[in-house]
Amino acid sequence: MIKLKLNNKEVKAKAGQTILEVANENGISIPTLCHDEELKPFGSCWVCAVKVEGRRGFVTSCGTEALDGMKIITDSDEVRQARKMALELLLSDHYADCEAPCKIACPNHVDIQSYVSLIANGEHHEAVKVIKETLPMPLSIGRVCPAFCEDECRRSVVDEPIAIRQLKRHAADFDLNDDWTYIPEREKPNGKKIAVVGGGPSGLTCGYYLSNKGYNVTVFESAPKAGGWLRYGIPEYRLPKKILDKEIKLMCKNGMKIKLKKEVGKDFMLADLSKDYDAVYLAIGAQNAAPMRVKGSDLKGCYLGVDFLKDFVLGKKPKVTKKLAVVGGGNTAIDCARTARRMGSDVTLIYRRTRKEMPAEAYEVDAAEEEGIKFHFLTNPVEYFGKSGKLKSVKLEKMKLGEPDESGRRRPQPTGEFFEEEYGTIIAAISQIPEVNFLLEDKNKIDGKELPLTRWSTAVADEESQYTGIANIFAGGDFRRGPATAIEAIADGRKAAEAIDRKLNGLSLIDPIIQFDSKKEKLLKDIDPKEYEQYEEIPRFKMPELEANERSTNFKEVETGFCEEDAREEADRCLECGCQVNETCSLRKYSTEYEIDQDLFIGDKNQHPIDHSHPFILRDPNKCIKCGRCVRICAEVQGPGVLGYIYRGFTSYVAPEFGESLTNTSCESCGKCIEVCPVGALTPRNINYKLNPHISEQIIQNCGLCGTGCEIEVNVQAGNVTTINPSGNGFNGRNLCFDGKFGWQIFEDENRIFKPYLRDEDEWNESDMETAYDLIEDNLSKAESKKIYISPTCTLEEIMMMDQVAKNIGAEICTLTYQNSFVKKISETNLMSLSYDDLSVAEAVVIVGKISQTIKVMIRSLQRKGIKMIILAEDNDEFNNYADELLNDFPVPETLDRILDHYYTENDEEVTIEEQDKSSTAIELDLPEKTIFIYSRNNVNELSIWRTWMLASMICDFKAGSGVLPTSNLNNFRGLTQYGISPGKPENSDFVILYGELPCEEQKKLMKNSKFIVSYNSHADDADPSHLLLPKPSYLEINGTAIANDGRISKFQNPKKSKLFDEILDQFSTLGLLNSQHSSSRYWHNKALKFIIQKVENHNMSNQELYDYLESIERVNFDTTKQASVQRKLITKLKKTGQCN
């Protein structure tokens, strides 16, 4: 041990440890991006820089050995500045978006990318759940939002922006009209009271989020109904009030109360609210219309836009004449014009700028024009003329555009050129202001202080927290902003709710941590179109709507909504600009922690096309920080070595040789490169599901695709498995094979069955359970001979359940998947006791034939720490190059035979001439006693297995780190054999159940004349000989257990929350094959757990006894077991083609 000082504290460390390792052992976190636990230090990123006394500058903690007497500082202003510089240099060539530009452009920062992807996947309830995390009114906003997000949609560079608003509306409509509607779970009531003044979108939003958090919220609304401008300013043809009513009702589900016709300053006082409630949010809007200061505006027939729309909604229908003018260019002006048109008027809209400068939404202007509304651009009213107190005509002045004003629009200037037109009605829709006179009264002052206001009569409040600085009063929405949009008002309401919650919990009003956001460019206009040339043009789906001549005479909703197919296809156009790992990215985490300014190193950045060519691995070189971890892990640990650096210096990037696609290399598709990537340069793909960065539910369980039993992290979204990763904490570390990382996608494929299917000659046709019941009942009642064949891929729960069914119907139960073997006797002895943990204490490991990729990599990692790895193989796998000794000149059985010849000769004192001849061809392999032989019983024949055990009997002591570790491609081979299910003979029977089994061709021939076969499986297969096919759960759809290769228990947690196993139990119960006690999945799970914990009595077998037993065996199988598995077929095809069908 050595002694050193770490941040002025004396610590002990092992000689040879790096500073980073010592710091980690002592609970000190040092950031690093290039360091990897499986690789030797590289030190390329310099983010782990520390200061060592006596050394010039800084050193990398990952690559510097800790020495006796060292004095190390890991955290100081100097060190932080060095790390910050390192991060900024990395980011200077990091061309990437942390968040999708649409999300940033949205005033409320709604996670658009995530909910659009969910719509593409048909998961509308989940989409609404994501939307309502920040936006509680998707039904309304999906109809009226100006869609600021679309202005920054990168799809615009390719063709047209995604129809984001319309998609939001589609999901919300689906959610509303389905059998159930998403309501967030309310937190436990906290006893605190909140008053919200104003029942518009901002006030309702604030109340919604606070009531969800357990607050007692009361909303005071002065109007007869809640909704604010959404009700009294948005016409029915855009937002039907029945929809708004339903949305407000949903918002009140968690206890928010709304008191109507309650006006602040009249029915209650602000000072009293402040005293009686823990917090007050003022969201009184900007409900007063700004007057049009034109001579004659007091004539009858002159209206203000806000009053006109509100009176119409309240039933006080304003009297309008045939010829009517609307003044203004915003959405309110358009709404007034289109409403008047529906009232029968001939409408002209007067606007002092050109159409291009109109603040109204372009599609609203187009709709107005389609409905027959005329436009006078560059025109301004200067005087109204009347007769008998009624408006008769309007004097108008032609305008011209001058220099741009503060809004960026060119300022209109008078020309002195006038003309006059007759109008009996004119509506001025130019602006709105809040009603604030009540604040001047003493009884509405807080502790004698007036609420601060601007010269526009808006509240002075913090933009992020909405806090006014006075007592417990917050203010937002149009009352703070002035007249704005509903989505902006909602943003204020949400921010206010967050700030109020933080304040009442003793926290700062806003989160002090500002998340770092990398951006390719700040604005869409700065994006280079060449970057998106790789994408195919796909026209935007137009929202269906009523024809202009049909809609202009009534108030029916104009937009009729997307159909399901169009919505999903439109959502699928999304380019997924936001980083998929923005919640877990190490670079973003450290950049946030060190408050990085990305603009510090402005200059050229490398731009590369994103590589979509591999079906399972997405490569985005723009995000790569050249840490080298993927290159080295693939070359030094995994085997293929398919990645490398192309070019040198600033222009270098990581890719396969010559910039090829990964699909044209020997890539194993194990995904290890994804696991080690500290940024989002390498991410997984899902062929069945459009992925998104939203945090998913994570379930830790074991993989069920082979006997290795790797521990995995299953990511689930809306009942769909999105990605699977190694958990990182299991024996397999960060390792998975293709099957475990991507092969599971066969169970999410559209061909995965969930209904009964009947065979009609060579075709499978969908059926129903009633027909299935009739067929099973009829054939079972007539059957004299009955057989059940069950696969070792089934859980213990399924095996036990089918065993009970067999007993109840008098059937024989067995398996077709493997054959009897001499190893069964050995498995009942102490010699079958090795686990994966034994690999770490072995001195040598002999790999016999093809085994699990994961286990190979585990052995390779141990080899790098000193154990010897010997490979007996017949293929030319790149991994073989790692072997300390590679024996692949002969078939595996012959290689084993030649090694045995060496040991026979070496151990015999008297050697015959024949044996001397054999010794000349023997392979001399000097193995230590602490040697583990490992093979897969599915990939080598029994002769090879016999010779492996014979070698072990001569070499091993069968203690820790010594002996034989058989493995299997079958996830519950040990469970099936341990339970007592034996191999059976395929034969014709009257009634057959194939549970998870798919007979091979030879087996099919022997049972093809069975009268009735029912199969339980995940997919239909043409080779399945059954007459009836029923769905069976996969390892992702069942709460179950299995016994892995080394005897450890694999646990499956049903991450998809499937009911398939329960449905099978119901089927058997209905058919009388199981009684009521046995029809519960919990019963079988408990029974399996009892079976697992019961002690297995194994007898001892010595080396000599093993040797003698092996010598006594007269016959072994020379062929490997022939297996058929629909899942194995599909996974093989998936890996080869990237498709399941």
pLDDT in tens, 1122-1135: 677 899 999 999 99
Mean pLDDT of 610-639: 95
CB of 1080 closer than 8 Å to CB of 1065: yes
Task: Choose one of 905, 937, 969: the last residue of a domain.
Answer: 969
Can you give the CATH number for the domain in which 27 is found?
3.10.20.740
Residues 544, 496 share a domain:
no
pLDDT band at 649 (very low <50, low <70, confident <90, very high): confident
Residue 639 lies in a domain: yes
Q: Kindly provide the b/e burial profile for residues 388-401, where b requires at least 16 CB atoms within 10 angstroms of the residue's own CB.
A: eeebbbbbbbbbeb
137 and 250 fall within a common domain: no
3 state SS of 892:
helix
Report the DSSP pairing between strands 1049-1053 and 1039-1043: antiparallel
pLDDT tens, residue by residue, 896-922: 999 999 888 766 555 555 555 555 689
Q: Provide the pLDDT for residue 920.
A: 61
Say what the pLDDT of residue 907 is: 62
Could you read off the pLDDT of 546-560 as tens digits, one per residue? 999 999 999 999 999
Residues 200 and 78 in one domain: no
The answer to whether residues 169 and 198 belong to one domain is no
User: Hey, what are 66's tokens?
Assistant: 């800790």
- 726 in any annotated domain: no
Are residues 958 and 984 located together in one domain of the fold? Answer: no
Q: What is the CATH number of the domain that holds 1070?
A: 3.40.50.740
Maximum alpha-carbon separation in the chain = 137
At 899, which CATH number? 3.40.228.10
> pLDDT at position 1120, please?
60
The answer to whether the CB of 587 falls within 8 A of the CB of 681 is no
- Looking at the domain assignment, is residue 365 inside a domain? yes
Place of tokens 């989160």: 511
Domain assignment present for 1139: no
Buried b (16+ CB within 10 A) or exposed e, 423-449: bbbbbbbbbbbbbbebbeeeebbbeee
Looking at the structure, tell me whether residues 935 and 1002 fall in a common domain: no
d(CA 98, CA 588): 8
Supply the pLDDT for residue 1121.
63
Query: Taking the complete model, does pTM exceed 0.85, yes or no?
Result: yes
| pLDDT value for 447 | 86
Same domain, yes or no: 874 and 948 = yes
pLDDT in tens, 744-780: 999 999 999 999 999 998 899 999 999 999 999 999 9
Strand (E) or helix (H) holding 1050: strand 1049-1053
CA torsion angle for 883, 856, 653, 693 (degrees, to 10)?
A: -170
Helical packing angle, 77-91 and 586-593, nearest 10°: 140
Q: Which of 60, 91, 122 is the last residue of a domain?
A: 91
Q: Residue 700: pLDDT band by 50, 70, 90 thresholds?
A: very high
At 598 the pLDDT is: 75
Per-residue CA distances from 924 to 848, 891, 902 (Å): 16, 16, 6
Q: What is the pLDDT of residue 919?
A: 53
* pLDDT above 90 coverage of the chain, percent: 88
What gap in Å lies between CA 472 and CA 467, rounded to an integer? Answer: 8
- Mean pLDDT calculated for residue range 567-588: 96
Using 50, 70 and 90 to split pLDDT, how confident is the model at 405?
A: confident
Per-residue pLDDT of 80-125, as tens digits, reads: 999 999 999 999 999 999 999 999 999 999 999 999 999 999 999 9
Residue 618 lies in a domain: yes
1045-1102 tens-digit pLDDT:
999 999 999 999 999 999 999 999 999 999 999 999 999 999 999 999 987 778 899 9
559 and 612 inside one domain: no
Both 842 and 903 in one domain: the answer is yes
Give the model confidence (pLDDT) of 37-96 as tens digits. Answer: 999 988 889 999 999 999 999 999 999 999 999 999 999 999 999 999 999 999 999 999
Phi first, then psi, for residue 99 (nearest 5°) are: -105, 150
pLDDT score recorded for residue 380: 96
pLDDT above 90 (res 208): yes
pLDDT of residue 906: 67
- What is the number of structural domains in the chain? 7
pLDDT confidence of residue 144: 96
Please compute the mean of the pLDDT values over residues 293-301 and round it to a whole number: 94
Structural domain span for residue 330: 307-433
Q: Are 914 and 981 members of one domain?
A: no
Query: Helix, strand, or coil here: 1006?
Result: helix
Q: Are 451 and 476 in contact (CB under 8 A)?
A: no
Q: Is residue 951 classed as helix, strand or coil in its secondary structure? A: helix
Q: What percent of the chain has pLDDT over 70?
A: 98
Residues present in the chain in total: 1141
Q: Which domain-ending residue is among 377, 412, 433?
A: 433
Q: Is residue 695 part of a domain?
A: no
Element (H, E) at 111: none
Looking at residue 577, what is its pLDDT?
Answer: 96
Q: Which of 263, 262, 209, 198 is nearest to 231 (CA)?
A: 198
Domain assignment present for residue 721? The answer is no
Strand ranges of the sheet holding 279-282, from the earlier edge strand across to the other edge: 257-259, 216-220, 193-197, 279-282, 473-475
Q: What is the band of 739 on the pLDDT scale with cuts at 50, 70, 90?
A: very high
User: Lowest mean pLDDT: which of 327-331, 438-442, 731-735?
Assistant: 438-442
Instruction: With a cut of 90, say whether residue 629 has pLDDT above it.
Output: yes
Over the chain, what is the mean pLDDT? 94
828/965 same-domain check: yes
Query: Which CATH number covers residue 429?
Result: 3.50.50.60
Whether 950 and 839 map to the same domain: the answer is yes
CATH number assigned to the domain comprising residue 608:
3.30.70.20
Q: What is the DSSP secondary structure assignment for residue 634, as one 8-state letter?
A: I
d(CA 1137, CA 1141): 9
Whether residue 1120 lies inside any domain: the answer is no
Given this model, what pLDDT does residue 908 score?
57
With H, G, I as helix, E, B as strand and everything else as coil, classify residue 629.
Answer: helix
Residue 1016, pLDDT > 70, answer yes
As a three-state string, the secondary structure of 739-779 is HHHCHHHHHHCCCECCCCEEEECCEEEECCHHHHHHHHHHH
Q: Predicted confidence band at 431 (pLDDT cuts at 50, 70, 90)?
A: confident
